[in-house]
Amino acid sequence: MTVNELKDKLNLKPLVEDDYDREVKDCYIGDLLSWVMGRAPADSAWLTVMGNINSIAVATLADVSCIILVENAALDDNARQKAEMHGVNILTTEENSYTVAVALSKLI
């Protein structure tokens, strides 16, 4: 499944679009950035409430397919600019991590 297909099927709102044809193979939930950095699988959708510049660095290092900001978590302006510079796909939803992960698990 691609990021674009995921966006459409889960009704996610795009915040930063880079490579929406990138494949999503897994899902990871976490808000402790150092934990995510060492454990999030490459090509996964990362579900978090962390919409700051540090989350962009973690997404890049972990090579995730996208960040999904859950529960309408905000993306700050510095993070948006850094995501655009580094090609990090970011989507958002009002749903919580559990709900998104369950729906995503049925798709991948």
CA distance 56 to 52: 7
pLDDT digits (tens, 9 = 90+) for 2-52: 999 999 999 999 999 988 899 999 999 999 999 999 999 999 999 999 999
pLDDT tens digit string along 53-81? 999 999 999 999 999 999 999 999 999 99
pLDDT tens digits for 28-41?
A: 999 999 999 999 99
- Measured CA to CA, the distance from residue 37 to residue 55 in angstroms comes to 9
Considering only the C-alpha atoms of the chain, give the largest distance between any 2 of them, rounded to a whole number of Å: 34
State the Cα–Cα distance between residues 25 and 42, nearest whole angstrom: 8
Q: Is 21 exposed, middle or buried (0-12, 13-18, 19+ CB in 10 A)?
A: exposed
68: nearest Cα among 83, 85, 52, 89: 89
pTM of the model: 0.96
